[in-house]
Chain A
């Protein structure tokens, strides 16, 4: 019940295209859903996050769509750029200690 399932495992997109990564969760106690971007050899960096009382959040080229009834959320990267090539992790926060449960990650490659 603590799992966060992420798909696809890898994604190749052409420059200028839209990248879409999906996540699903089971635990209805999760109350905060961040996305992290990780470059090789670096730690995860917070990209964008959403709370379940909002259905969509947009920051620049990055948008989170959230479907509370389906317990799913997704990251959309518009106008994908080669510099966006990284591993993306969805996560969910639960419990009083704010620990994060991560998905398995999606390796995004944006071809020039």
Chain B
């Protein structure tokens, strides 16, 4: 069964450093999302992406964040200058055109900022 994959599974970085989180969505999906889950809290929407541009972003998604689809398979989230409060699980999700209501989540990347 097709699935969303994410790398790395765990990233440790120092405050102020740039990180790139990578996702490979399900191959025929066209809509992509990033969500964040701070430890013990709910999953929060960050950004949606379609047709090579951001379609919606939350107030969390400030100028330090950017997303990109550099090729036909990868979808990346970049945090330019990480802060301690960026420590969280980051989930990528994708959805297709057929089952338009269903978003499929990847296993997540645990980001630890020290």
A residues engaging B (CB < 8 A)? Answer: 32, 34, 36, 41-46, 49, 51, 89, 91, 93, 95-105
Contact = CB atoms under 8 A, between A and B. Distances in A.
Contacts of B102: 34, 46, 49
Contacts of B82: none
Contact of A43 (B31, B91, B100, B101): B91
Nearest to A101: B45
Interface residues of B, number: 25
B92 to A, nearest CB: 8
Interface of B: 4, 6, 31, 33, 35, 41-45, 48, 50, 55-56, 91, 95, 100-108
Given A32-B101, A49-B101, A93-B101, A102 B107 contact: no
B41 A44 contact: no
Contact of B56 (A43, A91, A99, A104): A99
B43 A98 contact: no
Contacts of A43: 4, 6, 91, 105-108
A97 B101 contact: no
Given A49-B101, A49-B102, A93-B101, A98 B95 contact: yes
